[in-house]
Each structure stands twice: as C-alpha cells, then as structure tokens.
Amino acid sequence: MATEVEAQITGSVWKIEKGVGDAVQEGDVLIILESMKMEIPVEAPCAGRVSEIRVQEGASVEEGAVLVVIA
C-alpha cells in the first residue's frame, strides 16, 4: 500500500533529503520546504521505501501537493 506524503504548507522545496529507493523510518525527514523564511521539514508518516519523488529542489508547491510516495 503506497503512502502519498503531502506538503503541509504552500512554499518552495528547499532540500530533498532522501532518494528513490531509500529505506525510511517513521519520522525521518524526507524534504525540507521553505515558506516565509522558515524551513519546514516534511517527515515520513510511516516506515517504508521511497518509491517516487515528485518535486525538484527550488520548485513551488501548494499545500496538499504530493511530494513523495512511500511504498
């Protein structure tokens, strides 16, 4: 069952911390968003393996946009 990890806020992608194929634990930081001069970490909601990264560093994202898929 794949889990889609969404942006909790509108902003831009500052850093991508994990790559496709990486194993992650619940709470691991996947991506760091930047909004209003703050860095906002996006954490893995569950353990699994990163199967897809749908954004690039520097991209603008809306709240609710899918950033990463964990399988």
Partner 1 sequence: MFRRVLIANRGEIARRVIRACRGLGIETVAVHSEADATAPHVRDADVAFAIGPAPARESYLKVEALLGALRASGADAVHPGYGFLSENAAFARAVGAAGATWIGPSPEAIAQMGDKAKARRLMLEAGVPVVPGSAVVPDEEAAVAVARNLGFPIMIKASAGGGGIGMVPCETEADLRKGFSSAVARARAAFADGAVYLERLVHGARHIEIQIVADCQGATAHLFERECSVQRRHQKVLEEAPSPAVDEALRRELGAAAVQAARAIGYYNVGTVEFLLGPDRKFFFMEMNTRLQVEHPVTEMTTGIDLVELQLRLAAGEALPFTQSELRQSGHAIELRVYAEDPAKNFLPSPGTITKLRWPEATDVRVDAGVVEGSKVTPFYDPLLAKMIVHGRDRAQCIAKARAVVGATTIEGLKTNLPVHGMVLDDPAFQRGEITISYLGALMQRQRGH
User: Which residues of the chain form contacts with partner 1 (CB under 8 A)?
Assistant: 8-12, 34-38, 40
Q: Which is nearer to partner 1, 4 or 62 (CB)?
A: 62
Minimum Å gap between C-beta 29 and partner 1 is 13
Residue 9 Cα distances to 3, 6, 13, 57, 61, angstroms: 18, 9, 11, 16, 8
Rounded Cα distance, 25 and 23, in Å = 7
Rounded Cα distance, 61 and 70, in Å = 19
Minimum Å gap between C-beta 2 and partner 1 is 25
Minimum Å gap between C-beta 49 and partner 1 is 26
